[in-house]
Structure 1
Amino acid sequence: MGEHDVSLQNDNERLRAFTRALLEDVRVLEQMLDTPGLFETGVRRIGAEQELFVVDAGLRPSMRGHELLAELPHSSFTAELGRFNLEINLEPRVFEGRCLRDMEEELERTLRLARVAAANHGSRIAMAGILPTLGTEHLTLDAMTPNPRYLELNRALTGMRGGTFQTYIKGSDELSLEHDNVMLEACNTSFQVHFQVAPDEFTELYNLAQIVTAPVLAAAVNSPVLLQHRLWQETRVALFQQSLDSRSTAEQERGHRTRVSFGDRYLERSMIELLREDIARFRTIIASDDVEDSAEVLRNGGVPRLRAWCLFNGTVYRWNRPCYGISQTPDGPRPHLRIENRVLPAGPSVLDAMANSAFYFGLMSALGSEIGEPTKRLPFEDVKSNFTAASRYGLKARLTWFDGEELSAARLVLALLPTARRGLESHGVRTEDIDRYLAPIEERATTGRTGAQWLLDSLRGLETAVPNKDARFRAVTEAMITQQESGAGVAQWPLAEAIVDSDWRDSFRTVGQIMTRELFTVHPEDLVDLAASMMEWEHVRHVPVEDHEGRLVGIVGHRSLLRIVGRGAKESIKPVAVREIMKPDPITISPDASTLDAIALMRLHKLACLPVVKNQKLVGIVTEHDFMGVARELLERELSAE
C-alpha cells in the first residue's frame, strides 16, 4: 500500500525539511546494510497486490469504488488513483509448500467479496491491464480518488511538466493525445509481485529480475488497447511512462530519464546505488510531516521505518523497484528487503495471474545459479531492448539471450519452463501446484493465445457481426468478465461474441459512441476542387474545415459545391478557395452529449450533420446517416432478442 498521509501545502521550507529526512534515511539504511545480522535473512517470502477495475451496468468505469471500500475489509482492500479502481493486498507467505495455491485461494476469496460489494451497487469487477471501454471522459479530475497523496501528485507533476502531458503510442493504430492531469495513469492496473531477498544477494537478484522481465512479460501481455486504439501488446508500459512524464522541455532535450523507467545499467554493489541515483535525478514532489529521526531510532535499538524514503520511493516508478519493510518475527521486528516487479498486468484470470507469478518466482530462484554470472553473458542494452520488444510484440517479439543468441519470445519461454520448474522445486513448492501454474504458460507459448491476443482476435471476429465500434469493445469486456468468473485460463477462453440483450442500447447513448472519427478535412485556403474530390472518393456529403491547430472553422456541404459547379458551367471562373464557400462557425456538439440531444439539435436547425468538438478541437462528425444506422442496428437487435 502506498503512503497516503501527505501534506497539500508542500512549501519550500517543508520540502527542505523532508529532503533532509530523506537523505538521513538513506544514510541510515546504508549503515543498516553494513551491520551484520540486522536484516531478516534465511527466509524467502512472496506477496502480491492485485489492482482492479469497477465497471457499471454498461461495462464502463464506475465511480463507486469508494462506496465499495466502505463495505470491504480495510486489511485487504485500498483505494487507487481512479474512483473506478480498487487494490487487493495479499498476505505475504513463506515461499514453500502450498504457498502459491494459498495465494490463489486468498485472491479468489477477496475477489468474491469485491464482486458481492460491487453487485450491491449495480457494478461488476474486471481484471484488465487496461479496461477496453475506457474513454477520455473517464479521465477527468472528478474521477480521481479524493486522497491528499493523489491530489498533491497531480498538482506537483502538472506543475513540473508545464500543464499538459503528451501521449504518443504507435501500434496497429496510432494514438496521439494531450491531457491536462495524471489520470491517464489510472488506465493501468497490474498484478505486482514481491520477492523478499537478503542484503548480500540483493544485487545479484535485482539484476536477474531485470533479465527475466522480458520473457515473463512476453507470456503475460494483456493490455493491447487504449481508448479504442490497438497499440502495443502491453500498452501499459508505454502509457505509464508517458502519463507521469514530468520532464521539462530542457530535461527532455538533455535525455533526462522519466520517473517511470527500466533503468540504464546493471546494479554493481548494493541497492544504495538505486536510491542515490533516484534522489539525484528526481525532485521531491510529495512531503510529509510524519517522519522520524531514523538515526536516533537506530541508536536506541529500534527499527527505523525510513518513512521519508518509502514515500519518495513511491513517486519513482522503476519496473523492478527496491522495497524496504519491517517483519514481525518471534524475536521482534526485523527489517527486510524486497524486489517489487511492477510489470505484470492484471488478469486475464486469477489462474493466469498466478501462472505469471509462478514463472517469475521460479526463474528468480534458479536461473542465476544455472547460468553463472548472467550479467557477463548478456549486455544490459540487450536486456532493456528485450523489455521494449516484449512490451510491443508479446510472444511474437525477437529477443537476444545469453551469448548473443537470438530467438522468438515464444521459443524462449518454452526453453525457460524447465528452469522455472527447478526453481519452484528447490523451494519445496508442491508438484501439483507447479504443474497447475506452469501449464498455462506453456499453453500460451505454444498457441500464441495470451490475454492480449485473445482480445485482439475477439475484436477482429466481431467486426462483421457488430458494426458499431463501441459495441465491440463492450462485447469483449462482457466476455472477459464472464470468463474471469469461470476461473479458466485465457488460452482456454472462446472468443467474445456479440451481446444480444437490451444493454446494446448502452452503445448508442452518447455522440462519442456513434460519431465518425476517421475524418477527411480541408483547410480554408485549400482548393474547392480538393473538397469535391474527397466527397466523391470517400462517399461523404460534408467536409469539415479546420485550421492548422485542429480547430474547426467551417464546413463544406455538397450543396455548396453544386452551386459552384453550376456557376462554373456558365462561365469560366478562377480557382476558388474553400473559405469562399464554407459555412463558417458551424453549430457543434460535444462527444459527451446524448444522442437524443444531437437529434433534437439537428432537427431544430435543419442540419444534416454536426461536427463534434472537444477542447476546441475537432474530434469527429455525426450525420443523419449515422443515426439511421443506429436505428437499424437497434431494430435488428430487438428482433433477434424476440
Structure 2
Amino acid sequence: MGEQNISTSDDDQLRNFMKKLLDDVVALERLLETDRFETGVRRVGAEQEMFLVDRSLRPASVVMEVLERAQDPRLTTELARFNLEANLSPQVFNAACLRRMEDELNEVVGVARDAARHCGADILLTGILPTLRKADLGLDNMTPKPRYLELNRTLRRLRGDDFHVLIRGIEELETTHDNVMLESCNTSFQVHFQVSPREFAKFYNLAQAVTGPLLAAAVNSPVLLKHRLWHETRIALFERSVDTRSQIRVDRAARPRVHFGDGWIQQSVLEIFREDIARFRILIANAIDEDPMQVIERGGIPQFGALRLHNGTVYRWNRACYGLSGDKAHLRIENRVLPSGPTVLDEVANAAFFFGMMAALAEDERPVFKDMSFEEAKNNFFNAARDGLKAQQSWKGRTMSAQELILNELLPTARWGLQHVKVDGSDIDRYLGTIEERVRKGTTGAQWMLNSLHAMGEQGTSDVRYRTLSSAMLTNQKSGAPVHTWETARLEGEPKTWRDSYQTAGQFMSTDIFTVQPSDIIDLAANIMDWKKIRHILVEDEEGRLVGLLSHRALIRMVARGARGAQDNATVAQLMVKNPLTIGPEMPTLEVMKLMRERGISCLPVVEGDKLVGVITERDLIDVSAKLLESYLRDAQQ
C-alpha cells in the first residue's frame, strides 16, 4: 500500500504537506514539457496480492514471520497480517514478456509458499477468502506498521462514524465495522501499462473503456463473510470499506475515495492529479525535503514524494502513476480491477487480454471511447462486477452480453494487438486460448465457486462448506490447471480435517433464527415454534438486541396454570426469561458443552457486541457429539 515511512499528522504538518503537494503539481507540469520522460519503449508489470491461510484454510496472521523467513525484496506487507504482496519486475512489452511474467509469478509465489510452510501456513490466490469471518477483521490483525494505523485513525476521523456496508447480490449482506480492516478482505492482481505523456489521455480512456468486459471475464470474488453477493464482490466492498464521506457529503453526492471516475480525460495526466487534490483531503503526510523545481533546473528528475503519497490514498480503479526509470521519469496506468487467482496462468491470461486490447485499440483511427459515453463505460464496469459474463455491455452503439462481446469482438482484437507488438505466437495462443475457453464455457472463478456451493446444498455446516470450497481451490491452484478445467467442489462425507470446523461456537451455531419482540402476543410465538418445530424462540428489540428467551416449557406451564381466555392478550414480555445467558462466537466448543451441561441449559444465544448472531441448542451439540463419536470409532478400527 505504498510509502511506509509516515508519521502522525498534525495541522501544521498537513499544511506543509499540502504546500509540497501543490509544488509537485506545478513542477510536474513543467517536467511534462521536457524530454525527460521515457519514450520509445513500453513496459508492463504486475503486483500480486495473496492470502496466508492455516491448515484449516482460515486466515493465518504470520506475514511478518513469512517475510523474515523469505528474505525476498519483492515481497512486502499489506493491510492485514494475513495478506502478502509481491512486486514483479517490469517487462518490455514484446516477444516473451508474458511468459517471463508467468515464470516470475510462479517463482515468487513459490518463495512465499515455502516461507509460509515453515510458519505453519500456505498461500491462496483468491479475490476474497471464503472462510473469512468478521472476527478476523479486528485491529489485532492489522499489520503493525505506522502507515496502516494512521490510515485507520484518519479515515475514522473523516467519516465520524462506523463504516457501513450494504451489498445486495444473490443474498444480502449488511454490516457495520469500526475500522478499515474490511478492506483486507480483498486481494488483487494489479497490472501496469507504461505510456508516454503525449499518449496518456488516449490510453487512459481506453483502459476505462475496456475495464468492464475485462472484469467480466476475470471475476473471482462471489462470496464475503459466507454470503453470496456480486460475481466480483471486491468492487462493492472496497468502495464501501474506505468510504470517508459523512452523511452530509453523501447527500450532496460527493465522490467516494474509491471510484471509477467522472468522465473521459481530455489532454493530460494533470487532469487526474488536480481533480484528486481538489476533491480528496490529505489522509496521511510525511516530511518532504525535496524542492522539485530546483531538481528540474539542475537537470534532475524529481521524486514527487508528496504527489505519489497522496495519489496512493485515492483509489481509482484505473490509477495514473508517476515513477522513475533510471535517469528518466515515466507514466503508467495501473489497472486495479483484476482479482487475485484462480491460478497464475489465469492471472497472466487476464493481463494478456488487457494488454492486447490496449495495444490494438490504440491503433484505431477513431478510438472506441469516441463512440460510447462515459456513463456506458461506467455501467459496463459495475454490470460486470455484479453479473460476470452474463452482464450486459454497451459497445459501439450495441448492447450484448459480456460473453458475446468478448468472444466475437474483443478476443480477436486482443490477439491482433499482441501480434502487433510481436508477442510470441505460442504465448498468444496459451493465454488468449485460456480466456477463450473460460468465456466459452462460462466458467470464471466466481461461477466455479457458485456452482460448487450450489452442488453442496445444505450438506454439512456453513463452515464445512466454505472450508471445502477453499480446500478445493487450493488443490486446483497448486495443480496449475486453469479454472475452466476444474471439477466442481463437492462435499462427499466430512473432510479429514472436519474437526477444524467445530472448534468454536461461531462455526456450528444456527444462524437461520426465528425471533419475536417483547410486545408480540404469546400466540404468535407459540405458532412459530409449532410451525418450525423448535423448542425455543429468541426475543429481540427493534435494534436487533437480544432481550429475552421463550421456551416451550414456559408455554406449557402457562397453559397448565390458567384458562384460555387469560392467555389471549398475554405478551411475550410477560413470559420470557429476561437477559438470558449468552456467549460470543469465539467461545471454544468444549467450553460451550461444559457450560450447557453445568447450567442445565438447552438453548444458548450467541451474541457479538450487543447483537444476536446465532444460537446453539441441544440438537446442535448432539450433532457435533455424534460426529466426534463416529470419528473416534472409525480411527479406533484403523
Q: What TM-score do you get using the length of structure 1 for normalisation?
A: 0.97
Q: Which residue of 1 aligns with 2:536?
A: 542
The structural deviation recorded for 1:636 is 4.8
Q: Conserved in 2, the CA contact under 8 Å of 1:225 and 1:231? A: yes
**In 2, Cα distance between equivalents of 1:573 and 1:536:** 17
Q: Which residue of 2 aligns with 1:384?
A: 378
**In 2, Cα distance between equivalents of 1:640 and 1:430:** 55
Q: Conserved in 2, the CA contact under 8 Å of 1:262 and 1:320? A: yes
User: Would you say 1:135 and 2:133 are equivalent positions?
Assistant: yes
**In 2, Cα distance between equivalents of 1:500 and 1:291:** 61
Deviation digits for residues 341-386 of structure 1, max 9, x if unmatched?
0000000000000000000000000024237232221111111011
**What SS does the aligned partner of 2:515 have?**
coil
What is the correspondence of 1:111-190 to structure 2 with a 5 Å cutoff?
111-190=109-188
The structural deviation recorded for 1:567 is 3.9
Q: Which residue of 1 aligns with 2:274?
A: 276
What is the correspondence of 1:395-434 to structure 2 with a 5 Å cutoff?
395-403=389-397, 405-415=398-408, 416-434=410-428
Q: Conserved in 1, the CA contact under 8 Å of 2:20 and 2:288? A: no
Q: Conserved in 2, the CA contact under 8 Å of 1:223 and 1:232? A: yes
Give the aligned residue type for 1:588. T
Q: Conserved in 2, the CA contact under 8 Å of 1:500 and 1:637? A: no
Deviation digits for residues 69-108 of structure 1, max 9, x if unmatched?
0122342100000000110110001001101001100110
Q: Conserved in 2, the CA contact under 8 Å of 1:500 and 1:640? A: no
Correspondent of 1:107 among 83, 105, 108: 105
Correspondent of 2:36 among 25, 35, 38: 38
What is the correspondence of 1:213-224 to structure 2 with a 5 Å cutoff?
213-224=211-222
Q: Which residue of 1 aligns with 2:2?
A: 2
Correspondent of 2:586 among 592, 612, 634: 592
**In 2, Cα distance between equivalents of 1:220 and 1:124:** 23
**What SS does the aligned partner of 1:369 have?**
coil
Q: Which residue of 2 aligns with 1:321?
A: 319
**What SS does the aligned partner of 1:49 have?**
strand
**In 2, Cα distance between equivalents of 1:155 and 1:266:** 34
Question: Given the superposition, is the C-alpha separation of residues 371 and 447 from structure 1 closer, same or farther in structure 2, using an over 3 Å criterion?
Answer: farther
Q: Which residue of 1 aligns with 2:192?
A: 194
Q: Which residue of 2 aligns with 1:620?
A: 614
Deviation digits for residues 575-599 of structure 1, max 9, x if unmatched?
1111000000100000011111111
The structural deviation recorded for 1:507 is 0.3
The structural deviation recorded for 1:500 is 4.9
Deviation digits for residues 497-536 of structure 1, max 9, x if unmatched?
3375541100001100111112111111111111111111
**What SS does the aligned partner of 2:182 have?**
helix
User: Would you say 1:504 and 2:498 are equivalent positions?
Assistant: yes
**What SS does the aligned partner of 1:39 have?**
coil
**What SS does the aligned partner of 1:103 have?**
helix
Correspondent of 2:455 among 446, 457, 461: 461
What is the correspondence of 1:516-535 to structure 2 with a 5 Å cutoff?
516-535=510-529
**In 1, Cα distance between equivalents of 2:248 and 2:453:** 41
Correspondent of 2:438 among 429, 444, 462: 444
The structural deviation recorded for 1:456 is 1.1
The structural deviation recorded for 1:569 is 4.2
Q: Conserved in 2, the CA contact under 8 Å of 1:501 and 1:637? A: no
User: Would you say 1:11 and 2:10 are equivalent positions?
Assistant: yes
Correspondent of 2:45 among 41, 44, 47: 47
Q: Conserved in 1, the CA contact under 8 Å of 2:522 and 2:567? A: no
The structural deviation recorded for 1:634 is 4.3
Deviation digits for residues 15-54 of structure 1, max 9, x if unmatched?
000000001101111111122x221101000000000000
Q: Conserved in 1, the CA contact under 8 Å of 2:468 and 2:495? A: no
Q: Which residue of 1 aligns with 2:26?
A: 27
Deviation digits for residues 445-479 of structure 1, max 9, x if unmatched?
11110000111111121225x32110111111111
**In 1, Cα distance between equivalents of 2:483 and 2:75:** 25
Q: Which residue of 1 aligns with 2:485?
A: 492
User: Would you say 1:301 and 2:299 are equivalent positions?
Assistant: yes
Give the aligned residue type for 2:363. S
**In 2, Cα distance between equivalents of 1:610 and 1:323:** 54
**What SS does the aligned partner of 2:516 have?**
coil
Q: Conserved in 1, the CA contact under 8 Å of 2:545 and 2:610? A: yes
**In 1, Cα distance between equivalents of 2:241 and 2:633:** 44
Q: Which residue of 2 aligns with 1:607?
A: 601
Q: Conserved in 2, the CA contact under 8 Å of 1:365 and 1:424? A: yes
Question: Given the superposition, is the C-alpha separation of residues 437 and 291 from structure 1 closer, same or farther in structure 2, using an over 3 Å criterion?
Answer: farther
The structural deviation recorded for 1:633 is 3.7
The structural deviation recorded for 1:63 is 0.5
What is the correspondence of 1:334-345 to structure 2 with a 5 Å cutoff?
334-345=328-339
Question: Given the superposition, is the C-alpha separation of residues 634 and 372 from structure 1 closer, same or farther in structure 2, using an over 3 Å criterion?
Answer: farther
Q: Conserved in 2, the CA contact under 8 Å of 1:291 and 1:307? A: no
The structural deviation recorded for 1:64 is 0.5
Give the aligned residue type for 1:5. N
Q: Conserved in 2, the CA contact under 8 Å of 1:291 and 1:308? A: no
What is the correspondence of 1:220-369 to structure 2 with a 5 Å cutoff?
220-328=218-326, 333-369=327-363
**In 1, Cα distance between equivalents of 2:251 and 2:564:** 58
Q: Which residue of 2 aligns with 1:513?
A: 507
**What SS does the aligned partner of 1:17 have?**
helix
5+ residue gaps, structure 2:
none
**What SS does the aligned partner of 2:285 have?**
coil
**What SS does the aligned partner of 1:580 have?**
helix
Question: Given the superposition, is the C-alpha separation of residues 6 and 572 from structure 1 closer, same or farther in structure 2, using an over 3 Å criterion?
Answer: closer
Question: Given the superposition, is the C-alpha separation of residues 638 and 216 from structure 1 closer, same or farther in structure 2, using an over 3 Å criterion?
Answer: farther
Correspondent of 1:482 among 471, 475, 492: 475
Give the aligned residue type for 1:133. T
| Percent identity over paired residues | 52
Deviation digits for residues 189-246 of structure 1, max 9, x if unmatched?
0000000000010000000000100111000000000000000000000000000001
Give the aligned residue type for 2:119. H
Q: Conserved in 1, the CA contact under 8 Å of 2:155 and 2:242? A: yes
Give the aligned residue type for 1:494. E
Question: Given the superposition, is the C-alpha separation of residues 611 and 355 from structure 1 closer, same or farther in structure 2, using an over 3 Å criterion?
Answer: same
Give the aligned residue type for 1:584. K
Aligned length: 634
Q: Conserved in 1, the CA contact under 8 Å of 2:317 and 2:335? A: yes
Q: Conserved in 1, the CA contact under 8 Å of 2:214 and 2:350? A: yes
5+ residue gaps, structure 1:
none
Q: Conserved in 2, the CA contact under 8 Å of 1:504 and 1:634? A: no
Q: What TM-score do you get using the length of structure 2 for normalisation?
A: 0.97
**In 1, Cα distance between equivalents of 2:568 and 2:486:** 63
Correspondent of 1:558 among 552, 555, 558: 552
**In 1, Cα distance between equivalents of 2:428 and 2:292:** 42
**What SS does the aligned partner of 1:19 have?**
helix
Give the aligned residue type for 1:31. R
Give the aligned residue type for 2:116. A
**In 2, Cα distance between equivalents of 1:529 and 1:223:** 44
**What SS does the aligned partner of 2:625 have?**
helix
Q: Which residue of 2 aligns with 1:578?
A: 572
**In 1, Cα distance between equivalents of 2:438 and 2:564:** 69
Question: Given the superposition, is the C-alpha separation of residues 639 and 468 from structure 1 closer, same or farther in structure 2, using an over 3 Å criterion?
Answer: farther
**What SS does the aligned partner of 2:364 have?**
helix
**In 1, Cα distance between equivalents of 2:367 and 2:118:** 54
**In 2, Cα distance between equivalents of 1:367 and 1:635:** 64
Question: Which deviates further from its counterpart, 563-572 or 24-33?
Answer: 563-572
